Structure 1
Amino acid sequence: MLRISIQTVLRGALMAAGLASLLAATSPLQAAAQDRMPMRVAVEGAFPPFNYLDANNKLQGFDIDIANALCEVGKFECQFIIEKWDDIIPDLVANKYDAIISSMSMSLERRQKVAFTEKYYNSPSVFIVRKGSSISDVSPAALKDKKLGVTSSTAQESYANHLYPEMKKTVFRSSPELYKGLADGSVDIILEDKLAIYDWIANTKAGSCCEFKGPDLVDVTYFGEGAGIALRLDDKERLARLDEALKTIKADGTYDMINAKYFPFSIQ
């Protein structure tokens, strides 16, 4: 009996040692995680339907779904960081995060500070007025006595400052505040990304007050060639991996499924 007990103890010790060795070894999931490139992703979180916080304070939107798909296909270990729009490029350059996936238009001015992937969607800008407004002409001469609303540090603000210098302007901190300013009459007209405001106009009670006015604006100097993912100028490896991941999700149907979730038409 004693001999059996000793053997049992030894066998148990060996099994325990083996188990400890297995536990110490890297699991397949851990190995997969280690193979992924870390990527801190900045978003504004105040630009529905592209990126916003829902009732549970969780990030949602087209940008977030695209980012998650790219993180999966590109084998990135992603962490989202909410950042004020005014600080989003300076803090990228300062290495506080690695990428901006937040509907950033690839303007010539921004290209001097950051690198961009290929575009992941394209949207013109457009003027919006309240229904029944007397505004019919959106030329600089016709609007010089009107109050224009724009969002701070956007391509629309830059465009308005250069091409509509005589207009009185109110600069809002976020798109929701911009829309409210138009609805409540704080400004006569606003300039905004057409896709960004589409959902507000088409699908909300507040947005039913208002309508598009004038032609789509597609000036490459100010609005760039669509929205791209911004990275530091020297981050070439991550840029190449993101471009490859973009190609993949567009080819395998993932992009189209995300597109259809938010828009009844293609935004590529």
Structure 2
Amino acid sequence: MRPLLALVLALLVLAPCGARAGRMLRVASEGARPPFNYLDADNRLAGFEIDLMREICKRIDAECEFVTQEWENLVPGLVAKQYDLVVAAMEITEERRRRIAFSAPYAHTPSSLVVDRERTLAGVDAGALKELRVGVEAESAQQAYFEDKLPNVELRRYATLEAAMLDLSEDRIDVVADDKLAAVEFLKNRREGRCCRIAADLPQDADYFGAGLGVGLRQEDSALKSSVDAALAAIIADGTLRAISAKYFDFEIY
């Protein structure tokens, strides 16, 4: 047997089963925003974003190590090259874009309209809502949307979603507009939520509800961003994103 061939065969025998020749990447997450990311019973990162990131890493042929980081240190740590990627339910904003880059969005949290179980809505425009009293959290994206887009609707402002939902359950208002994830959790887990249901979603207007959640990267890592974006596009196209999100959410998030 030729010496070079013998060496190659020996290395194959000695190589660990399942070893991959991809790039090693460190991925940071907060671990404090379930179901997007959280720490499981073994204190390891888990959740929708962690499963999604594992799939991305597989498709870009990378070995990914997950690390926890406090929220306020996520961006500084990325810039300082303590890790390579951030996946932490981080909204894509212009302010953050001045410091880091983002992948294409992988999730959007809709804004929803909650009503009494006996009520139906004809739509989500001014004509359908003009006779209704709509509750929103003060200084929220939903307040800004209604004030700008539906100024003729009777708007009631509340300090918290709970306060608005309590008034809805007592028929003091007709509709509550809020983040869908928060609304779903309230309806599912609070006694006061038994009265009501989600009737419709507001249009996904980026000017009010953001551009979505993205994977954070350093601005100079353009090749890595291109790889992540290509993997995300494939994951969305072949239904994998929908399958992963269905394990954690009762509604579409993309």
Shorter-chain TM-score tier: 0.5 to 0.7
Cross-structure match for 2:211: 225
Cross-structure match for 1:22: 10
The letter for the 1-side match of 2:48 is F
User: Residues 222 and 264 from structure 1, CA distance in 2 versus in 1: closer, same or farther, beyond 3 angstroms?
Assistant: closer
Cross-structure match for 2:189: 204
User: Residues 229 and 222 from structure 1, CA distance in 2 versus in 1: closer, same or farther, beyond 3 angstroms?
Assistant: farther
Q: Distance in 1 between matches of 2:226 and 2:37?
A: 24
Secondary structure of 1:119's counterpart equals coil
1:101-138 Cα offsets, whole Å, 9 max, x none, are 1111111111111111111111145799xxxxxxx655
**Conservation of the 8 A alpha-carbon contact between 2:99 and 2:219:** yes
Which residue of the other structure, out of 204, 215, 222, is the alignment partner of 1:236? 222
Question: Which segments of 5 or more consecutive residues in structure 2 lack a partner in the other structure?
Answer: 1-5, 115-132, 145-156, 164-176
**Conservation of the 8 A alpha-carbon contact between 1:41 and 1:79:** yes
Q: Distance in 1 between matches of 2:67 and 2:35?
A: 18
TM-score normalized with structure 2 length: 0.64
The letter for the 1-side match of 2:46 is Q
Q: Does 1:36 align with 2:22?
A: yes
Q: 1:218 Cα shift?
A: 5.6
**Conservation of the 8 A alpha-carbon contact between 2:161 and 2:178:** no
1:180-226 Cα offsets, whole Å, 9 max, x none, are x9779xxxxxx98533x3553244358959988xx859663575311
1:151-173 Cα offsets, whole Å, 9 max, x none, are xxxxx7xx9xxxxxxx9x9xxxx
Q: Distance in 1 between matches of 2:41 and 2:186?
A: 21
Q: 1:66 Cα shift?
A: 0.6
Cross-structure match for 1:88: 74
Q: 1:265 Cα shift?
A: 2.7
CA RMSD of aligned residues (A): 4.4
Secondary structure of 1:106's counterpart equals coil
Q: Distance in 2 between matches of 1:22 and 1:55?
A: 40
Which residue of the other structure, out of 74, 90, 99, is the alignment partner of 2:85? 99
Q: Does 1:266 align with 2:249?
A: no
Secondary structure of 1:97's counterpart equals coil
Cross-structure match for 1:253: 239
Secondary structure of 1:228's counterpart equals coil
User: Residues 89 and 126 from structure 1, CA distance in 2 versus in 1: closer, same or farther, beyond 3 angstroms?
Assistant: farther
The letter for the 2-side match of 1:259 is S
> Matched residues, percent identical?
37
The letter for the 1-side match of 2:10 is L
Q: How does 1:115-130 map to 2 (within 5 A)?
A: 115-124=101-110
Which residue of the other structure, out of 40, 59, 77, is the alignment partner of 2:63? 77
The number of residue pairs the alignment matches comes to 212
Secondary structure of 1:66's counterpart equals helix
User: Residues 37 and 207 from structure 1, CA distance in 2 versus in 1: closer, same or farther, beyond 3 angstroms?
Assistant: farther
Q: Distance in 1 between matches of 2:87 and 2:108?
A: 14
The letter for the 1-side match of 2:180 is K
Question: Which segments of 5 or more consecutive residues in structure 1 lack a partner in the other structure?
Answer: 1-17, 129-135, 151-155, 160-166, 170-180, 185-190
User: Residues 225 and 75 from structure 1, CA distance in 2 versus in 1: closer, same or farther, beyond 3 angstroms?
Assistant: same
Secondary structure of 1:104's counterpart equals coil
Secondary structure of 1:102's counterpart equals coil
Report which of the two structures shows the higher radius of gyration computed on alpha carbons.
Answer: 1
1:239-263 Cα offsets, whole Å, 9 max, x none, are 0110111122122222121122122
Q: Distance in 1 between matches of 2:23 and 2:86?
A: 16
**Conservation of the 8 A alpha-carbon contact between 1:107 and 1:222:** no
Q: Distance in 2 between matches of 1:223 and 1:236?
A: 27
Cross-structure match for 1:57: 43
